[in-house]
Structure 1
Amino acid sequence: MRKKKLLVAAACAACAGAIPIGLSVSSASSGSAALPTATTPIQHVVVIFDENISFDHYFGTYPNATNPPGEPPLHPLSGTPSVNGLSNALLTANPNLNLPQRLGPTQAVTCDQNHGYSAEQAAFDGGLMDKFVQDTTGSGCTQTPYPNSSDYGPNGIVMDYYDGNTVTALWNLAQHFTLDDNSYDTQFGPSTPGAINLISGNTNGAVAHGGTSTAIANGTLISDQDPFYDQCSNPSTPLNGDGTPGGVTVSMTGTNVGDLMNRKGVTWGWFQGGFTPSSISNGRAICGTQHANIANALQDDYVQHHEPFQYYADTANPNHVSPSSASQVGQSDPAGTSATQAVNHQYDVSWFFKAMAAGDMPQVSFLKPPAYENGHAGNSDPLDEQRWIVDTINAIEQSPEWSSTAIMIAYDDSDGWYDHQMGPIIRQSLDVNDALNGPGKCGSLTTPPAQNDRCGVGPRLPLLVISPWAKQNYVDNSFTEQASILRFIEDNWNLGRIGNHSADASAGTLDDGFDFNPSAPRAPAVIMDDTTGEIVRTIPGAATESASTSTRNSVSATSTAIGASSAGKVSGAGQRTSSGRVKPPKLHCSDSGLGNTLILACTTSGGSRVTTLVRARLFRGRVLVANDASLVRGDRVRFTFRVGRHAHSGRYTVRLSIDAGGAVAAATHGVRIP
């Protein structure tokens, strides 16, 4: 492991004498009360919330790595499914000004891209996805030829991607657990809106303090601004007389998931690198710890605008007070705690590991690495990020809580990195800041919505589910977004919904990434090397009740020629959700051809009577040729693929994802084009 250079590491346990900022303190009895029961076998959720990565930037060529000599090798396991990634056409005839190029470990540190609310929309160009070079290339990308520096940005770098020889650990985790290739930023824009959407699903209700904030439009947060309830905000500006940070800051009104968990007594915490003050100056907490990344560039550990709970009065810890002991981690402050001593579930990331070692892991933990290890281009990189991810996951996998834990690796935004897939626009907007399908437009609205400037979903982002209960070597095609993690937490502890137009109500579920059948084999723990990302050893999963009775999805498929009558059948047996109430139907499909068009007609049988969406993707080998999606109407669903005049003859596969009210099944159908 590379030796870390700690420049400033003074700790503050209670920040005595800190200046109070007006806020609400969540109080509840702690310690002895029985914890709320989860609705699934998942008793602990750990969300690793890293920075600024699009799906194609890390997983565009998954599972096939280049494997040049001298780099950590990655060879896919037998039967590894493909993803909706960078096809040969996108790599060789991309509609953007530059072609995507592979980046290797020696190019880990790069310039930061433009990931503004408007810029990301403009790059999408109404779904053509062809203006990334013009609109999201970072202003700090100086085209220097010297890699591993924060200004390394050869022409077209915004299009570039890493493969399994650099992001080796993440690819190995995907090989052994679940990877979602259809997950999105809830809203276009940078880090702070993404973090707010993770915990509340709603960026509306933003309030500026100390002046006008360009990060707010029509009451909606669309950009980064330091939080009002944080003494470390705007550190170069003196505090106001009332103890609030000087300069312009932002607070959020409304409810977040912390409020819901406090009401139910769920233990939880946000754990962030650098949160413990390095010193106290005139009663003010100073967040001054620093580390050097692999390019030997010093970075402040704590990034104020990455801490979403500090925007809400009910869940903030303005003075950065630490708990008195590991046993207090996750607990609400005792009744009568003064505002200057309130921890309010906000901690330095070191407290997560202390609590886990003491057997006091909270039921819900949000983890944010220090800035040099968070993956954010410019200040971090895939290798520093990999070290932190591996060390964290290795520790959790070897803890007693592992058997009931689900780790979710998610990202706050795309950084503006290229991704070829546009998601559905669920939340339209009509404002001068929008640019998705024309100036001032995000969607087809002619009058602004009640909550404007929430254009989304935004760019596609990686999402991994790592758990003994996760499906193994599985690619989940279910539509999800950042607020889907919020929804999982709400559903797992019956917390209810946020309300007030939160995205939690419409977000897709993570259900398809899990297999809660008690008889199914549990996924083994994967212990990795934190430098190379390679697997060192595996720890077998817990014994099951009866592996022979496992009820996994069954799929049968045959190959047929276009134009043949009564073509081969395909059936994808639906799998119940953990509640057992909703079940997808079976599909029975036949295909026919007319000119350059392939038509797939399916009928359904069985399943629950709920709205069912079927997504169909046509592959030639691992290359995505065409895709379509349609709702089941009555008991029928139909897809039309334009295969093109020059389609290659041979065998093709249609992969179907059947989403019935959140319960998802998969199926395949073989086709032969003469």
Structure 2
Amino acid sequence: MFVRSKRRLPLAAGLGAALIAAVAVPAVALGHDQGAPTSTPIKHLVVIFQENVSFDHYFATYPNAANTAGEPRFTAAAGTPTVNGLNAPLAAPNNPNSTQPFRLGRDQAQTCDQDHSYTDEQKAVDSGLMDKVVETVGRGGATCADYGHGKGLVMGYYDGNTVTGMWNYAQHYAMSDNSFGTVYGPSTPGALNLVSGQTHGFSADGDAVPAASGTVIGDPQPAGDKCDTRDTSTSTDSKNKNVGDLLNAKGVSWGWFQGGFADCKATHKDVGGASSADYIAHHEPFQYYKSTQNLQHTPPASVQEIGHNGPANHQYDLTDFWASVDHGSMPAVSYLKAAAYQDGHAGYSTPLDEQHFLVDTINRLQKSKDWKNTAVVISYDDSDGWYDHQVSPVVNQSNDTAHDGLTADKTCGTNPARIAGGYQDRCGYGPRLPLLVISPYAKQNFVDHTTTDQSSILKFVEDNWKTDPIGNYSFDEKAGSLDNLFDFHRKNKALYLDPASGQPVKH
């Protein structure tokens, strides 16, 4: 596979170190599949982009579950690798935080949303000590479910008796325990980094996009989106591009598919009874760029248009994705965004609702004619503030004392040479997040330790479809490779799960 060369990056003193590594993969015959030429046998990439989960929040004790009575059991296969989780030195009673990590049961799926702002997430790191999580990002109270933990709820985690489907996918396919948010902060920076590796060069919008930096650190709505006309921002730097621009230039079919895109008023309740609008505008990154906007949510003129140029401009409802799959014309690159009640975001979604979406989606994809050359990547936009013990490597600094807070002097490093492009407020990497690859070509029961981030998915697209890089100091220049999650010389059998229990079922 074509792999762009990389360099080793110096890291901020006292904050840990990591090597951004790529793993070379031998050349593989491409076969006779139709469509744009690729560097691997992967002809279809489906990125399921979920919400607000840290790695430890779902995988702290993997592969060991408590197996409490009345919950779906999980028993790891022999030879299952361990992960960088909450081992003895960091488990209760030895954790440095004021509340010790604790297990949340399946009956505690509905929880409060935590603080996941750009500045407070840095403060939680406390110069690498990782001991101020409760005080800086913890939330609880009478208006949401905290189960008596108050701000200490932020230290809670689930195991394989609740996120059973995720643990079973990890058993059968490949996962990473060393993948990070590209920068600190909430949903919109994560979504923008997924598609561009770049959060700089946007119109100012109060605290969400500080005028001094022009960098997105909060959740502005995309300007002009008919579903939400509150505080807004849009890309203003003429050098800014996203992956859709790159794919259009190569003639590769692609699309963003989001629940509720076709109906701004559509709502659902999660299993805990919380109601939310299906479509959340600031979760849709392509709406921030003039070249890829569909601000009026115009539907495609036909199923044949889906993935190609037309009135919808590559922005669609989730139902359009399945129309293309059923028609036998699934785009080469597809980004799926669940309706809010199924996206995993604490406060209005739960791990159980999320599991239904993931399992229903993957079960259906595995039955499609294109599964033989498809890879599904499950990834997340941010951590929600949920505790994760791993200190993130600092690959890009920022010296904005009004908004940074990684160190005591309110910076994220002060070396101008390590502030890419001179663009402030891109302190990263941010918190560690789950990342799984589900594919016939995914390694089986494998844990990858390669340092990656959200823009590593962008880099995979660039390398597999041989596009140009984004440019303009995008994080794709630094991104580690996803290649080690794959084995292109053998195929993995499909795994079907029950969407309610997350346990394997016969097919």
Counterpart of 1:276 (choices 255, 262, 265) is: 262
Give me the whole-angstrom Cα distance separating, in 1, the residues matched to 2:381 and 2:86: 22
Partner of 1:359: 328
Letter aligned with residue 399 of structure 1: S
Worse-superposed segment, 508-517 or 152-161: 152-161
Using the TM superposition, give the Cα deviation of residue 446 of structure 1 relative to its aligned residue in structure 2, in angstroms: 6.7
Return closer, same or farther for 1:37/1:187 CA change in 2, 3 Å cut-off. same
Preserved CA contact (<8 Å) 2:274 2:349: no
Residues 396 and 429 (structure 1 numbering): CA distance in 2 closer, same or farther, change over 3 Å? same
What TM-score do you get using the length of structure 1 for normalisation? 0.68
Residues 1:198 and 2:229 aligned together: no
Quote how far apart the aligned CAs of 1:89 are: 2.3
Structure 1 position 404, deviation (Å): 0.2
Matches within 5 A, 1:489-504: 489-504=461-476
Q: Answer 1 or 2: which has greater helix percent.
A: 2
> Quick one: distance in 1 between partners of 2:370 and 2:418?
48
Whether contact under 8 Å (1:110, 1:153) holds in the other structure is no
CA distance in 2, matches of 1:376, 1:404: 30
Superposed CA offset, 1:408-462 (max 9, x none): 0000000000000012101100002010012421024379941011000000000
Partner of 1:601: none
Residue identity opposite 1:231 in structure 2: K
CA distance in 2, matches of 1:270, 1:438: 40
- Does residue 305 of the first structure (1) align with residue 285 of the second (2)? no
Bigger Cα displacement from structure 2, 299-308 vs 153-162: 153-162
Q: Is the 8 A contact 1:229 1:317 kept in 2?
A: no
**In structure 1, the residue corresponding to 2:246 is in which secondary structure?**
helix
Q: Is the 8 A contact 1:322 1:343 kept in 2?
A: yes
TM-score norm. by structure 2 comes to: 0.89
User: 1:454-473 to 2 correspondence within 5 Å?
Assistant: 454-473=426-445
**In structure 1, how many angstroms separate the alpha carbons of the residues matched to 2:302 and 2:499?**
29
Match of 2:378 in 1: 409
2:112 matched to 1:142? no
The separation in 2 between residues aligned to 1:370 and 1:458, in whole angstroms, is 25
Q: Secondary structure of 1:291's partner?
A: strand
| Percentage of pairs with the same residue | 52
- 1:323 maps to which of 295, 300, 304: 300
Aligned to 1:488: 460
Could you tell me which amino acid in structure 2 is paired with residue 486 of structure 1? Answer: L
User: Where does the alignment leave 5 or more consecutive residues of structure 2 unmatched?
Assistant: 1-33
Match for 2:209 among 216, 227, 234?
216
Q: Which residue of 1 aligns with 2:47?
A: 47
Deviation at 1:151, TM superposition (A): 5.9
Q: Which residue of 1 aligns with 2:164?
A: 168
Matches within 5 A, 1:524-543: 524-537=493-506
Displacement after TM superposition at 1:128 (Å): 0.7
Give the C-alpha shift of residue 248 in structure 1.
2.9
Write the distance in 2 (CA, Å) between the matches of 1:404 and 1:233: 37
Partner of 1:588: none
1:504 shift after superposition = 0.6
Counterpart code for 1:224 = D
Write the mapping of 1:58-73 to structure 2, written as runs, cut at 5 A. Answer: 58-73=58-73
**Alignment pair present for 1:369 and 2:334:** no
Q: State the AA in 1 paired with 2:171.
A: Q
Distance 1:202 1:448 in 2: 15
Q: How big is each residue's C-alpha offset from its partner over 1:81-119, in whole Å with a ceiling of 9 and x where there is no partner?
A: 000000122112100001111001100010000000000
CA distance in 2, matches of 1:351, 1:201: 26
498 and 153 in structure 1: CA distance in 2 versus 1, 3 angstrom threshold: farther
Q: What is the alpha-carbon distance in structure 2 between the residues aligned to residue 327 and residue 152 of structure 1? A: 50
CA contact (8 A) 2:221 2:232 kept: yes
> Which amino acid is the alignment partner of residue 66 of structure 2?
T
Residues 1:468 and 1:297: Cα distance change in structure 2 (over 3 Å): same
1:229–1:316 CA contact under 8 A, matched in 2? no
Q: Of 462, 468, 484, which aligns to 1:512?
A: 484
Paired with 2:153 and 2:363, the residues of 1 have a C-alpha distance of 32
Q: Report SS of the residue matched to 2:226.
A: coil
User: Amino acid of the residue matched to residue 225 of structure 1?
Assistant: P
Matches within 5 A, 1:93-172: 93-138=94-139, 141-142=140-141, 154-155=149-150, 156-172=152-168
Counterparts of 2:447 and 2:394, CA distance in 1 = 23
Mapped to 1, the partners of 2:50 and 2:75 lie a distance apart of 25
Contact 2:146-2:153 at 8 Å conserved across structures: no
* Paired AA for residue 183 in structure 2: Q
* Superposed CA offset, 1:50-101 (max 9, x none): 0000000000100000101110001001100000000122112100001111
Against the structure 1 CA distance between its residues 414 and 378, is the aligned structure 2 distance closer, same or farther, given a 3 Å change threshold?
Answer: same
Q: 1:262 aligns with which of 225, 232, 248?
A: 248
Q: Could you tell me whether the CA contact under 8 Å between 2:127 and 2:407 is conserved in 1? A: yes
The 3-state SS of whatever aligns with 1:89 is coil
For residues 216 and 53 of structure 1, the distance between their equivalents in structure 2, rounded to whole angstroms, comes to 23
Unaligned runs of 5+ in 1: 1-33, 235-246, 278-286, 334-341, 539-674
Shift of 1:229: 3.7
Larger RCO (CA within 8 A; separation ≥ 6): 2
Shift of 1:297: 2.0
Provide, for residues 354-379 of structure 1, a one-character-per-residue CA deviation record: whole Å limited to 9, x for no partner.
Answer: 11111111000000000000000001
Measure, in 2, the Cα distance between the counterparts of 1:434 and 1:352: 39
Task: State the SS of the aligned residue for 1:410.
Answer: strand
* Residue equivalent to 1:435: 405
